[in-house]
C-alpha cells in the first residue's frame, strides 16, 4: 500500500475464477477517489487437457500476475450454486487455486459474491453482465469494456474490494484497538 495525501492507495488483484477462462484484473485506488486500471487479462486453459494440468496452468498464470503487479490484496468471486454441477466444480477448483497462490504470498484474500459485486459497481445486485461491464468502463475511464466478460468481472471484483474491503479493514482494526484498550 502507498500513502498518498493522507489516504491509503491500495492495489487489488481481482480474480473471476474459471477453469477455461480465469479473468484477472488489477485496480489501484482508494475509497472516494477515482480508481485506475493497472492491467487486465485472462488465463486460458484448453478443455481437452486433464483438470490437474489446467489447474497448474492457472496457478502459473496467477503467480506471474502477482509477481508482476505486486497487489496489496486479492479479491476472488465467491462460488455460488449453479444448475450445472460440472461448471461449479471447475469454478470452485480455480477459486481454490487463486486463494492458495495469494495465501502462499501472505496476501489477504477477500471473497465477494456476484450480487455484492454487481451492487457495488452498478447500484443493483441484479445488474446483468453488460451493465457491470459498462460501469467498469465508466469507473475506470476506459475507452471500451474489457473482453471477454471474465476480464471485466475481475476488474469489478477489484473495484468492489477497494471500496468495500478498505471499509471492512478499518472496521476490523477499530474493533481490535477497542478490544486491546480494555
Q: Annotated binding residues for Mg(2+), as ranges?
A: 16, 77, 150
Q: Which of 16, 30, 72, 153 is the catalytic position?
A: 16
Contact 17, 91 (CB under 8 A): yes
Active site residue 150: yes
Q: Which of 48, 77, 128, 173 is the catalytic position?
A: 77
Q: How many CA atoms lie within 13 A of 147 on its CB side?
A: 2
Q: Which of 30, 72, 150, 153 is the catalytic position?
A: 150
What does the alpha-carbon distance between residue 32 and residue 92 come to, in Å, rounded to a whole number? 32
What is the DSSP annotation of 92-157? HHHHHHHHHHHHHTT--EEEE-HHHHHHHHHS-TT--HHHHHHHHHHHTT-SS--SSHHHHHHHHH
Binding residues: 16, 77, 150
Active site residue 77: yes
Contact 19, 94 (CB under 8 A): yes
Contact 71, 26 (CB under 8 A): yes
> Catalytic residue numbers?
16, 77, 150
Amino acid at each position: 500500500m502507498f500513502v498518498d495525501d493522507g489516504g491509503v492507495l491500495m492495489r487489488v488483484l481481482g480474480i473471476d475464477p474459471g477453469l477455461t477462462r480465469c479473468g484477472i484484473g488489477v485496480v489501484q485506488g482508494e475509497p472516494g477517489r477515482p480508481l485506475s486500471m493497472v492491467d487486465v487479462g485472462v488465463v486460458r486453459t484448453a478443455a481437452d487437457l486433464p483438470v490437474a494440468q489446467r489447474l497448474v496452468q492457472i496457478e502459473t498464470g496467477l503467480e506471474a500476475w502477482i509477481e508482476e503487479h505486486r497487489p496489496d490484496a486479492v479479491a476472488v468471486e465467491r462460488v455460488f450454486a449453479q444448475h450445472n454441477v460440472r461448471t461449479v466444480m471447475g469454478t470452485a477448483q480455480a477459486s481454490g487455486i487463486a486463494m492458495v497462490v495469494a495465501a502462499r504470498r501472505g496476501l489477504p484474500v477477500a471473497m465477494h459474491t456476484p450480487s455484492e459485486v454487481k451492487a457495488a459497481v452498478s447500484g443493483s445486485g441484479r445488474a446483468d453482465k453488460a451493465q457491470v461491464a459498462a460501469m467498469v468502463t465508466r469507473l475506470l475511464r476506459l475507452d471500451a469494456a474489457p473482453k471477454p466478460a471474465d476480464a471485466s468481472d475481475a476488474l469489478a471484483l477489484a473495484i468492489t474490494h477497494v471500496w468495500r474491503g478498505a471499509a471492512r479493514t478499518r472496521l476490523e482494526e477499530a474493533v481490535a484497538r477497542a478490544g486491546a484498550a480494555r
